[in-house]
Amino acid sequence: MVTRQLPKPAELLELMSFKKPELDAKKRRLSAALTIEDLRTIAKRRTPKAAFDYTEGAAEGELSLARARQAFQDIEFHPSILRDVSTVDTSCEIWGGPSAMPFGIAPTGFTRLMQTEGEVAGAGAAGAAGIPFTLSTLGTTSIEGVKAANPTGRNWFQLYVMRDREISYELVRRAAANGFDTLFFTVDTPVAGARLRDKRNGFSIPPQLTLGTVLNAIPRPWWWYDFLTTPKLEFASLSSTGGTVGELLDAAMDPSISFADLDVIRSMWPGKIVVKGVQNVEDSRTLVDLGVDGIVLSNHGGRQLDRAPIPFHLLPRVVEAVGDRTEVAIDTGIMNGADIVAAYALGAKFTLIGRAYLYGLMAGGRAGVDRTIQILGDQVVRTMKLLEVPTLADLTPAHVTQLRRLVPVGEAVRV
Ligand SMILES: Cc1cc2nc3c(=O)[nH]c(=O)nc-3n(C[C@H](O)[C@H](O)[C@H](O)COP(=O)(O)O)c2cc1C
């Protein structure tokens, strides 16, 4: 039998202590986002279709990106027990400097298209969080603008070697003069991948107004208000415009670049040099023999060669081959702090986030990027605590199994 009683007014009052409503709509929106996927949902609602698709899309059938994300979802963790994890330390050293967390912001082109604050939001948020920010050659903020947005934090510069070498070399000199400490030489872009969404959307740079874009603009007035009332959206370091991003890339990139270009750039660059877009063990060995400071295992977020290897699957073999001689980082498909922890456990010394950052940017400008970093950082901390590892150095391959849906038949991969 249940004993019943009359409710006591004091207890009722306690139940009725409502939380103070958040009046700032942006804060309300962002704090309701608990995952990067939640930020993506907000981003999609607020960004015109062509700009959202340019960001979210990948090449051809978008298989590489889907597989890379799946590989991270298929992680199985193996926690230890009874270790003191009242505090965990997420800080690390990478390419000669510190980072408060084992991830940084990847280089992305045309970032102000997604949301008008663009790289300034990314660099400012990264600086505030103590993690590095990477500016792309195809960025929409100048090298000096990024330095101003993140004056004391670490800035990295990503280089595309263009047909007109002088343009690339001048960027290298300016990045060095502005204290950027690491140069990413991106090598997976001899030509642009087929970004079919851009073609289907008739997306061009600068964005064109068509009946479709005007109709699509109606529920997204704030993006258009920003677009029309802020400085013209253009590449900060390149003058070519007119066409899809793919067409612009094809016009600017030199498909004949080679290891000789790496030599030239290294002779010009005073800081650390890292090659981004490495996709097999053999190339990793060659690069390390040539004395690079690091490599980024990446398939460019699936935007270049579709069906390229899954970087997360490649990681253990590359670390085994060169991990004692260089610092290996990884990107493509990271949507959760747990992905970052798993990559670190398997030997990555750092990770980069592309879309996770851009979803935050589209969801709320600078505050949205802050939220991305906070969500990923909280996930990193929680995962480390639940694995019972107090520092990143305590993570080992024994903490992670890669459950593989896709297992190569034979070793066609270059090992
Ligand atoms: C919209 C967009 C633009 C990008 N632009 C560049 C670029 O200019 N240079 C470059 O090296 N990588 C570029 N990337 C690739 C990222 O640096 C990174 O490798 C990739 O986004 C990682 O995958 P993720 O988006 O799943 O995190 C771009 C990625 C996206 C999504």
- The DSSP result for 197-211, as a single string, is HHHHHT--SSPPP-H
- pLDDT tens digits, one per residue of 54-101: 999 999 999 999 999 999 999 999 999 999 999 999 999 999 999 999
pLDDT at 7 (0 to 100): 83
Q: How far is the CA of 218 from the centre of ligand 1 (A)?
A: 29
Identify the CATH number of the domain in which residue 373 sits.
Answer: 3.20.20.70
CB 55 within 8 A of CB 362: yes
- Nearest-atom index, ligand 1, CA of 302: 23
HSE of 399 in the Cβ direction (CA atoms, 13 Å)? 25
Q: Whose CA is nearest to atom 10 of ligand 1?
A: 107
C-alpha 32 chain-centroid distance = 22
Query: In 130-239, where does DSSP find H-type helix?
Result: 143-149, 165-177, 196-201, 211-217, 221-229
- Evaluate whether residue 295 is within a structural domain: yes
- Which pTM does this prediction carry? 0.94
Nearest to 253 by CA among 159, 353, 146: 159
How open is the CA angle 151-181-305, to the nearest 5 degrees? 110
In a domain, 410, yes or no: no
Atom of ligand 1 nearest to the CA of 186: 11
Give the pLDDT of the chain (415 residues) as one tens digit per residue: 888 888 888 877 777 777 788 899 999 999 999 999 999 999 999 999 999 999 999 999 999 999 999 999 999 999 999 999 999 999 999 999 999 999 999 999 999 999 999 999 999 999 999 999 999 999 999 999 999 999 999 999 999 998 889 999 999 999 999 999 999 999 999 999 999 999 999 888 777 777 777 788 788 888 888 888 888 888 887 776 667 777 888 888 889 999 999 999 999 999 999 999 999 999 999 999 999 999 999 999 999 999 999 999 999 999 999 999 999 999 999 999 999 999 999 999 999 999 999 999 999 999 999 999 999 999 999 999 999 999 999 999 999 999 988 877 766 555 5
Q: Can you tell me whether residue 101 is helix, strand or coil?
A: coil
Question: DSSP states of 237-265 as a string?
Answer: S----SS-HHHHHHHHB-TT--HHHHHHH
Instruction: Examine residue 271 and state whether it is found in any structural domain, yes or no.
Output: yes
Q: How far apart are CA 1 and CA 297, in angstroms?
A: 65
In a domain, 15, yes or no: no
Residue ID of nearest Cα to ligand 1 atom 15:
300
Identify which of 335, 360, 354, 352 has the alpha carbon closest to the alpha carbon of residue 117.
Answer: 360
Q: Do residues 141 and 135 touch, judged by C-beta distance below 8 A?
A: yes
Instruction: For residue 18, give Cα distances in angstroms to 10, 21, 84, 261, 402.
Output: 15, 8, 36, 63, 45
pLDDT of residue 9: 83
Contacts of 217 (CB under 8 A, 6+ apart): 48, 223, 224
Residues 6+ apart with CB under 8 A from 8: none
What confidence tens digit (pLDDT) does each residue in 269-283 have?
999 999 999 999 999
Distance 9 CA to ligand 1 centre (A): 58
Query: Do the beta carbons of residue 88 and residue 352 sit within 8 Å?
Result: no
Residue 81 lies in a domain: yes
- Position 66 scores a pLDDT of 98
- Measured CA to CA, the distance from residue 52 to residue 54 in angstroms comes to 5
Question: Does 151 sit behind a cis peptide bond, omega within 30 degrees of 0 on the bond before it?
Answer: no
Q: Identify whether 407 is part of a domain.
A: no
Q: Dig out the tokens for 272 from the structure.
A: 């650390």
| Residue 256, domain extent | 30-402
**Shortest-distance Cα residue to atom 21 of ligand 1:** 354
Strand 350-353 to strand 327-330: parallel, antiparallel, or no bridges (unpaired)?
parallel
Q: How many helices, marked H, and strands, marked E, lie in the chain?
A: 17, 12
Note whether residue 176 is domain-resident. yes
Please name the residue that has the structure tokens 């009242």: 86
Is 235 within a domain?
yes
**Which of 284, 328, 313 has the alpha carbon at shortest distance from 411?**
313
Instruction: Out of 108, 160, 250, 296, give the residue to mutate to test ligand 1, the one with the largest number of ligand atoms within 8 Å of its CB.
Output: 108
Separation of alpha carbons 86 and 379, rounded Å? 15
Q: How many domains does one find in the chain? A: 1
* Count of beta carbons in the 10 Å neighbourhood of residue 390: 16
- Residue 117: CB partners within 8 Å, gap ≥ 6? 361, 365, 366
Is the CB of 298 within 6 Å of ligand 1? yes
Atom 29 of ligand 1: nearest residue by CA position:
108
Give the residue numbers annotated as catalytic, written as ranges: 300
